[in-house]
């Protein structure tokens, strides 16, 4: 706070002393400086007490209508800029979401393609392994078959023999069929043929033979000879050109050798 002291200044009025002569000659003027008289100490103290403090008040702002219009215009401009910025942000947000969706679809498709590719590769690898196992199994089966084939063939022949003998015992026509098959291979120019069979089958063959020779046009003389060494269902042909063994054991042995040569 600034306090000013009141002081009384006394100045004498300047006086101009004009010349008394009538010649109007200029006369030097003397300037008298006013003397400052000091007040008594008591009056100075009263003056200091009475003096009011001088307060510097803030200057009121001057209102300019042109500036107000500018302020309003600037505010509108700023609001527009803010709206545009918000609009840009919304567009950016939408673009960001769209890009995120596109990236998600791309990642999804890439993952699907990668999974499909890996699955296909795994399937191909599995198929190759499966083919390898099948090939190994086939080779193993072939090796095993070659190893056990003789035993299998032997067992098969024994089974066939038992089946045929059983059938011959119950059906004499089996022997007739064997005789017919051999007669077809014997030359028609053979003058004499001896057929050796089991004694129990002699009479049955004699009764059936005329129809056979007539049916196939055989003119040779055929003799039916009983031979206990011939097994059931078998027969042996004797001709001028050689012997034909049509016993069941012999026929199965021929089949067995044929299978072994395969």
Instruction: Mean pLDDT check: name the lowest of 32-36, 87-91, 102-106, 211-215.
Output: 32-36
| Out of 25-34, 177-186, 198-207, 212-221, least confident range | 25-34
How deeply is 196 buried, as exposed, middle or buried, from its count of CB atoms within 10 A (0-12, 13-18, 19+)? buried
Answer yes or no: is 57 within a domain.
no
Domain membership flag for residue 233: yes
More confident residue, 145 or 5: 145
What rounded mean pLDDT belongs to the chain?
A: 72
Whether residue 93 sits in one domain with residue 126:
yes
**Whether 161 and 180 share a structural domain:** no
Q: Is the pLDDT of residue 133 over 60?
A: yes
The pLDDT value recorded for residue 86 is 66
Average pLDDT over residues 164-170: 75
Out of 168, 188, 223, a domain closes at: 168
CB 53 within 8 A of CB 2: yes
d(CA 257, CA 9): 166
> How many domains does one find in the chain?
2
Residue 257 has pLDDT above 70, yes or no: yes
Boundary (domain end) residue, out of 145, 168, 191: 168
Contact 176, 210 (CB under 8 A): no
- For residues 252 and 193, membership in a common domain is answered with yes
CATH of the domain at 215: 3.30.2320.30
pLDDT digits (tens, 9 = 90+) for 53-90: 555 555 555 544 445 555 566 666 777 776 666 666 66
Look up the domain containing 110 and give its range: 80-168
Residue 237 lies in a domain: yes
> What CA dihedral angle connects 256, 175, 193 and 181, to 10 degrees?
-60
For residue 17, tell me if it sits in a domain: no
In this predicted structure, the answer to whether residue 17 has a pLDDT above a threshold of 50 is no
Residue 55 lies in a domain: no
Tell me, yes or no, whether 253 lies in a domain: yes
- Of the ranges 37-41, 90-94, 214-218, 237-241, which one carries the lowest mean pLDDT score? 37-41
pLDDT at 195: 93
**For the whole model, what pTM was predicted?**
0.41
152 and 85 together in one domain: yes
The reply to whether 235 and 179 lie within a common domain is yes
- Same domain, yes or no, for 137 and 211? no
Asked which of 25-39, 132-146, 234-248 is least confident by mean pLDDT, the reply is 25-39
pLDDT of residue 41: 52
179 found inside a domain: yes
**Domain match, 89 and 153 both:** yes
Asked whether residue 162 falls in the same domain as residue 186, the answer is no
């Amino acid at each position: 706070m600034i306090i000013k002291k009141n002081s009384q200044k006394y100045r004498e009025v300047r006086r101009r002393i004009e010349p008394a002569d009538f010649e109007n000659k200029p006369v030097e003027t003397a300037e008298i400086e006013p003397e400052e008289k000091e007040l008594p100490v008591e009056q100075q103290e009263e003056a200091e007490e009475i003096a009011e403090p001088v307060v510097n008040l803030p200057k009121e702002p001057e209102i300019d209508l042109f500036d107000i219009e500018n302020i309003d215009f600037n505010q509108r401009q700023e609001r527009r800029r803010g709206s545009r910025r918000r609009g840009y942000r919304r567009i950016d947000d939408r673009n960001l979401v769209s890009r995120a969706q596109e990236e998600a679809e791309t990642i999804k498709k890439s993952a699907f393609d990668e999974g499909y590719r890996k699955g296909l590769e795994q399937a191909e690898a599995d198929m190759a392994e499966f083919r390898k196992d099948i090939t190994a199994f086939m080779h193993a089966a072939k090796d095993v078959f070659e190893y056990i084939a003789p035993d299998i063939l032997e067992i098969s022949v024994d089974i066939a023999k038992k089946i045929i003998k059983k059938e011959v015992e119950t059906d004499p026509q089996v022997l007739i069929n064997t005789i017919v098959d051999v007669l077809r291979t014997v030359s028609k120019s053979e003058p004499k043929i001896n057929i050796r069979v089991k004694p129990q089958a002699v009479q049955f063959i004699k009764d059936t033979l005329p129809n056979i020779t007539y049916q196939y046009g055989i003119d040779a003389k055929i003799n039916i000879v009983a031979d206990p060494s011939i097994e059931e269902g078998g027969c042996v042909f004797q001709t001028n050109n050689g012997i034909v063994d049509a016993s069941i054991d012999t026929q199965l042995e021929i089949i067995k050798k044929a299978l072994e040569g395969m």
